[in-house]
A = this chain, B = another copy of it.
Amino acid sequence: MKTYTRTFPILIHHVDAAGIVFFANYFIMAHDVYESLLADIGHGIPRAIDDGEYIIPIAHSEGDYFRPMRHGEQITARLAVTELRSASFTIRTDLVGPDQAVRATITTRHVCVSSATMKPMALPVLMRTALAEYLHT
């Protein structure tokens, strides 16, 4: 039961006029970590787009914001798979501050669909196997 972890700094343009990270940027940060995970397990999004057999769009996303993130803070993203079904999976990413407090939790549900029919289709086996290593139940 692994957690995929990445650390990055809050940069000047992540923050908005209120002096804290703009809420939509949390989704970008979580997706960047997800894209990094896919690359590491050998199922990078670019190749999937080029192959064109399937796409894995996001059907639902959620953000819970507990404490703000500020410019210059080092944030650690801890990503886990919280649901893994034949044609879909759910990713949960906790964004944790240097004080170890969870600042926000981002959840995204991804559905694998055939590019030809736009109907759900089974996840590629190797991708499913790789995601299973990060499954927290």
Once bound together, how far apart are the Cα atoms of A32 and B32, in whole Å?
15
Is A121 interfacial (CB-CB < 8 Å)? no
The number of residues on chain A lying at the interface, defined by a beta carbon within 8 Å of a beta carbon of chain B, is 42
Once bound together, how far apart are the Cα atoms of A41 and B36, in whole Å?
27
When distances are taken between beta carbons in the complex, the residues of chain B under 8 Å from A68 are 57
- Complex contact A60–B60 (CB within 8 A): no
- Complex contact A64–B71 (CB within 8 A): no
Contact of A23 among B16, B20, B44, B61 (CB under 8 A): B61
Interface positions, chain A 66-112, Cβ under 8 Å from B, are 68, 70-72, 108
- Complex contact A28–B35 (CB within 8 A): no
CB distance from A43 to the nearest CB of B (A): 12
- Complex contact A22–B12 (CB within 8 A): yes
Contact of A9 among B39, B57, B60, B70 (CB under 8 A): B39
Measured CB to CB, the residues of A under 8 A from B are 9, 11-20, 22-25, 27-28, 31-32, 35-36, 39, 44-47, 49, 55, 57-65, 68, 70-72, 108
